[in-house]
Amino acid sequence: MKKIFLSFTVFSVIGSCSTDNDNNNEQEISPIIGTWNQYKGEEHTSFNNKVKVHYPEGCESENTFEFNQTHLNTVGYALSKGVCVPSEAYNTQYTYDKTSKKLWYKDNNSNAVIVSKLTPTEMVTEDRTEDRDDDGVKDLVIRYFRKIK
């Protein structure tokens, strides 16, 4: 009886170690995978060196950004009959290079977004793909995300 119990215990420990390693390897390979919600944005304009800070409110605060292995699925929410409901969806392929911290969307391959912070619960991106103040220089937009799933 002791041999059966010991065998079961050893098998359980080996099995749990294997599962933990698999999860750690998957997380290490794809740290961006999950569903994210933007809680803050900053726009740094080059023309006047101003910083605009934006905190999503209302239905906008429910927008989600879901990264799976190959695609980004975004869902925007809007008010309908007093309730926030999904109003628009967008899907695109993406590539994330963990070493260079660059994130490319299929629709915008020439301009990468920099992932300046990526933890299991928070992601910060730096985007220089738009000229927000029309001065001919691409401005810095920083977005702050929380992982919700």
Per-residue pLDDT tens listing for the chain (149 residues): 444 433 333 333 334 344 444 444 444 457 899 999 999 999 999 888 899 999 999 999 999 999 999 999 999 999 999 999 999 999 999 999 999 999 998 876 667 899 999 999 999 999 998 899 889 999 999 999 999 99
Examine the domain organization and report whether 6 and 38 are in the same domain.
Answer: no
Q: Residue 46 belongs to a domain with what CATH number?
A: 2.40.128.280
**Total domains, the chain:** 2
0.85 exceeded by pTM: no
Tell me the residue range of the domain where 95 lies: 31-147
Examine the domain organization and report whether 115 and 50 are in the same domain.
Answer: yes
Those residues whose C-beta lies under 8 Å from the C-beta of residue 54, and which sit 6 or more positions away, are 40, 41, 42, 43
Cα–Cα dist 106/8, whole Å = 49
Examine the domain organization and report whether 25 and 78 are in the same domain.
Answer: no
Residue pLDDT, tens place only, 82-108: 999 999 999 999 999 999 999 998 876
Residue pLDDT, tens place only, 22-34: 444 444 457 899 9
Examine the domain organization and report whether 18 and 48 are in the same domain.
Answer: no
Examine the domain organization and report whether 68 and 102 are in the same domain.
Answer: yes
Examine the domain organization and report whether 50 and 80 are in the same domain.
Answer: yes
Instruction: Tell me what pLDDT residue 49 has.
Output: 87
